[in-house]
Amino acid sequence: MIISRFSQVLKKPFIRKGAFFLRIGWLYPDLMGTYGDRGNILVLKKRCLWRNIIPIIIPVTKETRASKMAAIDLLFGGGAQDREQEIVQKDLYKKKGKVITALIARGIPSLFVCGSSQLMGMYYETAEGKKIEGLGLFKMNTLRAEPDQKRCIGNIAVEIMHPESLLGEKLLGFENHGGRTYLLDGALPFAKVISGSGNNAQDRTEGVIHNNAIGTYMHGPLLPKNPKLADYLIMKALEIKYQKNFSLTPLDDSLSQLAKNSLAEPR
């Protein structure tokens, strides 16, 4: 009994008086979470708790009322296959698209990976050629691959182009997509490709950024390999929520950097 109670105490974060809170919205965890994308939520949660920032994870499913999403401080969406994306797209248009659009317009920091990023674009084509309309938050289109085009799959290394505060930061991830994404005039790429395919295996761009919303093809999951990006999202969320500048307490990321260096070594 004593051990059991002690274990329960360990699971509860120590909450200092005046602690900060962040509501993290997790879009469709039951439908969109391929290639370890849920690991991004775990990283955001732990890096908050280690700094005495209290994360409140809000799973957003088809049953979630749109009104519940209005108070979200940080938004994340993972990847999925075409079938699940079509299910999500219908729910976005019927219920949640307007509130997500409003969140992005307010500058709420967001990370959309692969399928969820495509849903934030103008439209994407399924493998069968069916055109699925997106929310239009990202000025980009995703076309299905031509018969002679190979699937974009494997490790990817990029260098951030936007935002300016992360300019030049190198990221590692894993991509696996058949579609080719093309940015339209005025759209800003998130990064440039060092190795891998990126948006379309042609123009060396990777992802897209609008306000504080980032779209990317990098799975893996992305944030455990690249904790600086996780901290950027957390810091931006705090600044917008509390309307003041923040400087996050440094964490020991030596093991993460060691793993990153190992992955970056030529094979």
Q: Which of 201, 193, 41 is nearest to 113 (CA)?
A: 41
- For residue 110, give the H/E element and its range: strand 110-113
The gap from C-alpha 172 to its chain's centroid, in whole angstroms, comes to 14
Element (H, E) at 97: helix 97-105
* Whether residue 152 lies in the annotated active site: no
Encoded tokens for 197: 């395919």
Q: Going by DSSP bridges, is the β-strand pair 110-113/53-60 parallel, antiparallel, or unpaired? A: unpaired
Give CA separation, 111 vs 59, 82, 207, 215, in Å.
Answer: 15, 19, 11, 6
Closest CA to 111 of 164, 193, 38: 38
48, 177, 210, 219: the catalytic one is 219
What is the C-alpha separation between 192 and 248, in angstroms, rounded? 27
Residue type, 5: R
Alpha helices in 106-205 (DSSP H): 115-119
**H/E segment holding residue 100:** helix 97-105
219 is catalytic: yes
Among 48, 114, 177, 210, the one annotated catalytic: 114
Peptide bond into 266 cis (omega under 30): no
Q: Give me the active site residues, please.
A: 114, 219
